[in-house]
Amino acid sequence: MKIFVDSADLEEIRELASWGIVDGVTTNPTLVKKSGRSFSEIIEEIFKIVDGPISLEVVSEKASDMVKEAEGLVKKVSKQYQKNVAIKVPMNPEGLKAVKQLSEKGIKTNVTLIFSANQALLAAKAGASYVSPFIGRLDDIGQDGMQIIEEIMEIFTNYDIETEVIVASIRHPIHVIHAARIGADIATIPPGIIRKMANHSLTDVGIQLFLNDWEKVKK
Ligand code: G3P
């Protein structure tokens, strides 16, 4: 399973990329706001850090405006990195129209705010490169978010659909294990959860024990 960092925090992305575990990045307007930097500043840096798909979200509401905005975003990125741009488009009829047009222009898209397998199927048919089902937000309202990942994976496998499934709105490490067991293509994970995945209290205890014993070894 590929791991994307779900963040616009350049320091965090840089640190995690240095671990050798980052295949891509997803951003959204909320994450950009949280980073405290301008969108232009983020776009300028992020592609230099990670050589993989980077999702940038459009905020227009009409399909024609989304397409213009997407083309503008691609142009903001230096030529060598443009192949890595994935335009995040919301899952609604205008978004689907935009996805169709962008895919015809050879621009990658990531259809976001997906909450059902039917939405994922329509997005894939419109030509989405990626779909992003938000599992945590479904869990929040008392639905089993992971169940729609199972459904989408089954449907996409049945019809050899090439659109990749990004498990999004991940809230804890168990979500990641479930996503990987189901065989999702990608999990986009907030930095704090990636750090939790790397940690185990027994690992820390074990390291301390070895260090203590090493101190006692006759030099
Ligand atoms: O990738 C989507 C993600 O950023 C949304 O997460 O926690 O706001 O539901 P959350």
Q: Whole-angstrom Cα distance, residue 36 to residue 96? A: 31
Domain residue spans of the chain = 2-218
Q: Whole-angstrom Cα distance, residue 32 to residue 94? A: 23
- Tens digits of residue pLDDT in 46-89: 999 999 999 999 999 999 999 999 999 999 999 999 999 999 99
CA of 207 to the centre of ligand 1 (A): 34
- Tens digits of residue pLDDT in 10-51: 999 999 999 999 999 999 999 999 999 999 999 989 999 999
- Both tokens of 158, joined, read 């049945």
Closest C-alpha residue for ligand 1 atom 1: 168
Check if the beta carbon of residue 33 is closer than 8 Å to that of residue 72: no
- Tens digits of residue pLDDT in 158-216: 999 999 999 999 999 999 999 999 999 999 999 999 999 999 999 999 999 999 999 99
Residues forming a β-bridge with 111: 89, 131
- Taking CA atoms, 97 is separated from 13, 40, 115, 184, in Å, by 32, 26, 19, 26
- Active-site residue, 88 included: yes
Q: Which of 27, 137, 143 to mutate to test the pocket of ligand 1 (most atoms within 8 A of CB)?
A: 137
The predicted structure's pLDDT at residue 202: 98
Closest C-alpha residue for ligand 1 atom 3: 169
Closest C-alpha residue for ligand 1 atom 6: 169
Kindly name the residue from 34, 75, 76, 88 that is annotated as catalytic.
88
- Both tokens of 58, joined, read 């459009």
List the CATH code of the domain at 2-218. Answer: 3.20.20.70
Check pLDDT > 80 for residue 219: no
